[in-house]
Amino acid sequence: MTLKQELINIARAAGDATRLMLNVSSKKKDTVLRDMAASLIKEQNFVLKENKKDIAKAQSSKLSSVFVDRLILNQKRIKEMSGSLIAIANLPDPAGEVIKAWRVPNGLWIHKVRTPIGVIAIIYESRPNVTSDCIGLCFKSGNSVILKGGSEALNSNLAIFKILKDTIKKHGLPEGLINIIAIRDRKAVEALLKLSDFIDLVIPRGGESLIKRVTSLSRIPVIKHYKGICHVYVDEWADLNMAQNICFNAKVQRPGVCNAMESMLVHRAVAERFLPGMIKKFKQAGVQIRGCAVTRKIAKGIRKATEQDYHTEYLDLILSVKVVEDLTEAIRHINYYGSHHSDTVITENYECALRFLREVDSACVYVNASTRFTDGNQFGMGAEIGISTDKLHARGPFGLEELTTYKYMVFGNGQIRA
């Protein structure tokens, strides 16, 4: 059997499973999700054993510590994965929800109703927890999923997939609901992206090169989990103690993720009071600072920031810093250099806060909070497929509702059009 035919067979089975899922009750879905969560805990030693193979390979390949951190599973992270499945089970089922209903003058009742998108292919890198999150979200929303994880996490992904697939089978549900492509060859991705007759949506989640490659090759609609060039702007009206805590958390708490701060902007009026202490704290945590001319005058021994630095998602303990004249310059800088992911203003000025919220063109815009909260779980959505930086059809954390589209269900009693 050719690779193309193998993938077509998987996608066809996924489509058939999606149609069968339309008649599965929310109660049944939630029972299965809770069983999945319990099975992950029960079989965690198997998952950890397989994960060690991936970690050993990554370390022998001399991959960065940040990259290895994304791969690592431990009891705490498996417990979090299990918890996400339970959280998804506890959320309302979006499939079948009536968004709006109205009667038109001729007596027709029109209902706008949420319905699953169908077959979703998710292409992702590194993090094994994405496997269980994607399965849980797609299952609850009534979609079938085809997973293609990175080769660096293949053993971990296959272990998690096997546990959750066995749970699906145990409950007598169609096996085509969840699928994984275990082929390491890149040609598998290229072939998958051509199956527009069988797959309804592609969601890539990973580095910039992966996103660009998927977008350029796909014949299927793509929603992009694009890079996170996230900013924190310290306004002239900021509480500087609060600003220091937020900036440190946004950069240092977990630097290798898409919602970490990559660029810090500081109003000129507070720069001399704020930057020395802030930069000292960053340096003590191992952060390399790349600053503008004003920043380098205030704090010595800082590398000069280039134009490219402001365009870069470091995913590491590196931070670009710029002193700006005012809120207008901060907003202009963010909209030009940012990736429309997550950006924060630290200010006690209500009008400045509202203007920042209105004018910064990003999926998630904050006042006085860390960008690190851009996460489906943190938003109370159970989990997420990714953070969409697109504007259509979904933006921000991609959760249950975002995994649905809608149809119009129309009830009549004999109406014909004149």
pLDDT in tens, 146-188: 999 999 999 999 999 999 999 999 999 999 999 999 987 778 9
Compute how many other C-beta atoms are within 10 angstroms of the C-beta atom of residue 60.
Answer: 8
Residue 418 is assigned to a structural domain of this protein: no
Residues 169 and 216 in one domain: yes
- Is residue 325, in this structure, part of any structural domain at all? yes
In the chain, which residues have pLDDT < 70?
none
Instruction: Record the tokens describing residue 176, joined without a space.
Output: 């085509």
At residue 184, the pLDDT reads 79
331 and 271 in a single domain? The answer is yes
- Whether residue 124 contacts residue 21, with contact meaning beta carbons closer than 8 Å, is answered with no
Residue 69 pLDDT: 85
Domain membership of residue 276 (yes or no) is: yes
Residues 314 and 339 in one domain: yes
pLDDT of the residue at 30: 98
* Pair (189, 329) in one structural domain: no
Range of the domain at 253: 230-373
Is position 354 within any domain? yes
Q: 8 and 132 share a domain? A: yes
Cα dihedral value 61, 67, 71, 76, nearest 10 = 140
Q: Is 106 among the domain residues?
A: yes
Q: Are residues 64 and 180 in the same domain?
A: yes
Are 209 and 329 contained in the same domain? no
Q: Which amino acid is at 292?
A: C
Note whether 208 and 354 are same-domain residues.
no
The reply to whether 208 and 59 lie within a common domain is yes
Each residue's pLDDT tens digit, 132-148: 999 999 999 999 999 99
**How many domains are contained in the chain?**
2
Q: DSSP letter for 92, please.
A: P
pLDDT score at 1 = 82
The whole-angstrom separation of Cα 303 and Cα 288 is: 8
| Backbone φ, ψ for residue 119 (5° rounding) | -105, 125
Task: Tell me what pLDDT residue 127 has.
Answer: 87
CATH code where residue 236 lies: 3.40.309.10
Query: Does 380 fall in a domain?
Result: no
Same domain, 207 and 341: no
CA gap 103, 143 in Å, rounded: 30
**Burial (0-12, 13-18, 19+ Cβ within 10 Å), 115:** middle
Same domain for 259 and 216: no
Q: In this structure, what CATH number is given to the domain that contains residue 78?
A: 3.40.605.10
**Which residues, 6+ apart, have CB-to-CB distance to 271 below 8 Å?**
294, 295, 298, 323
Q: Within 13 Å and on the Cβ side, how many CA atoms surround 305? A: 25
Q: Where are the beta strands (DSSP E) in 48-137?
A: 98-103, 109-116, 119-124
CA torsion sign for 269, 272, 277, 282 is: positive
For residues 147 and 205, is the Cβ–Cβ distance under 8 A? no
13 located within any domain: yes
Report which of 407, 405, 409, 400 is spatially closest to residue 94, judged by C-alpha positions: 400
Residue 317 lies in a domain: yes
Q: Which helix (H) or strand (E) holds 295?
A: helix 293-298
Extract the tokens encoding 224.
């992009």
Residues 195 and 175 both lie in one domain: yes
